[in-house]
């Protein structure tokens, strides 16, 4: 990667990825784009342009003028919000990918497209979920992610577009807040621990979902995009993970630093149903074998870093 255009650059991942890539490749080689300017201050003086990813011509023109050699397509409507607007979710999540892949085909750029654990559903093995397995998601977000995975494979095999991606689990960060996803509780629990000393979880006790700390999520993009393509058997939608968590596991880790922390429950049936349709844990052996994936943060290391940074940020 040398010149990188990011769509959805002001979301939870995008704001931190823009800064991360700027440190590696130089801020003059990063173009951040987003439909709105919310969180614009989070990317500092990195170049920014407004872009709705469903506007194919605008995307093409920006990529061409910037001389991008890589497009990172993060523009998406997430799981919980997607259930309130399924048609718009399809338009953004699928049409946006098609537009990105078409620009890549026309201009010869590489592409990074993230998928999600939401791509799994009924019939998927819930424990140690394989890289290649049945995918029958029950949410429109998950449906769009499966469609995106298939489109990416199609454009590679049909047109030779160098498109790669990972299936992200829940991502935990102390920077930009997430945007209406099912795993967001794992971010909010840390914020409320620092602000209130207590948290009320909308996810039920005992509900396992895989999680990843943001530094590892960012590192995965660079490691995969810089990997030798000859070693990539899958290229797209690699399972990656670091830890399988429940609310009470997070509680126990936080209590090592804040013994008086309190956790209560007020379960949201919509998000709980989504969570129960997703894997408890992922098998990420293909990513480890094909491009050397290895997370640097475990739960307690992440908790210590989250609480330290949030203490500075919130107090």
Tell me the catalytic residues.
141
Q: How far apart are CA 216 and CA 72, in angstroms?
A: 17
Q: How far apart are CA 21 and CA 74, in angstroms?
A: 14
Q: How far apart are CA 236 and CA 161, in angstroms?
A: 12
Q: How far apart are CA 53 and CA 90, in angstroms?
A: 12
Read off the tokens for 57: 């011509």
Strand 209-213 relative to strand 243-245: parallel, antiparallel, unpaired?
A: antiparallel
Instruction: Specify burial of residue 26 (Cβ count, 10 A radius: 0-12, 13-18, 19+).
Output: exposed
DSSP line for 25-68: H-GGGEEEEESS-TTGGGGTTSEEEE--TT-HHHHHHHHHHHT-
Cβ contact 11:38 at 8 Å: no
- The two counts, helices (H) then strands (E), for the chain are 12, 14
- Can you tell me which residue has the tokens 């194919």? 56
């Amino acid at each position: 990667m040398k010149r990188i255009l990011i769509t959805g650059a002001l979301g939870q991942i995008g704001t931190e990825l823009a800064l991360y890539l700027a440190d590696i490749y130089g801020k003059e080689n990063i173009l951040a784009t987003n439909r709105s300017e919310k969180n614009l201050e989070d990317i500092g003086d990195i170049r920014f342009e407004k872009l709705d990813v469903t506007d194919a011509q605008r995307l093409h023109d920006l990529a061409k003028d910037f001389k991008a050699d890589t497009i990172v397509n993060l523009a998406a409507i997430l799981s919980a919000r997607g259930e309130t607007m399924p048609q718009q979710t399809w338009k953004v999540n699928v049409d946006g990918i098609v537009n990105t892949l078409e620009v890549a085909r026309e201009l010869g750029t590489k592409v990074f497209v993230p998928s999600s654990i939401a791509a799994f559903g009924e019939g998927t093995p819930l424990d140690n979920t394989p890289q290649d397995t049945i995918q029958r998601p029950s949410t429109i977000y998950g449906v769009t992610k499966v469609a995106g995975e298939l489109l990416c494979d199609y454009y590679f095999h049909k047109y030779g577009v160098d498109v790669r991606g990972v299936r992200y689990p829940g991502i935990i960060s102390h920077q930009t807040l997430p945007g209406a996803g099912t795993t967001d509780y794992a971010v909010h629990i840390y914020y409320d621990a620092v602000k209130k000393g207590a948290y009320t979880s909308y996810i039920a006790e005992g509900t396992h979902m895989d999680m990843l700390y943001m530094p590892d999520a960012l590192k995965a993009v660079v490691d995969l995009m810089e990997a030798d393509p000859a070693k990539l058997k899958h290229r797209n939608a690699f399972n990656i993970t670091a830890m399988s968590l429940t609310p009470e596991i997070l509680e126990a880790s936080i209590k090592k630093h804040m013994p008086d922390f309190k956790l209560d429950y007020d379960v949201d049936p919509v998000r709980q149903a989504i969570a129960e349709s997703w894997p408890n844990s992922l098998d990420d052996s293909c990513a480890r074998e094909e491009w050397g994936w290895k997370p640097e943060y475990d739960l307690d290391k992440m908790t210590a870093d989250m609480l330290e940074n949030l203490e500075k940020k919130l107090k």
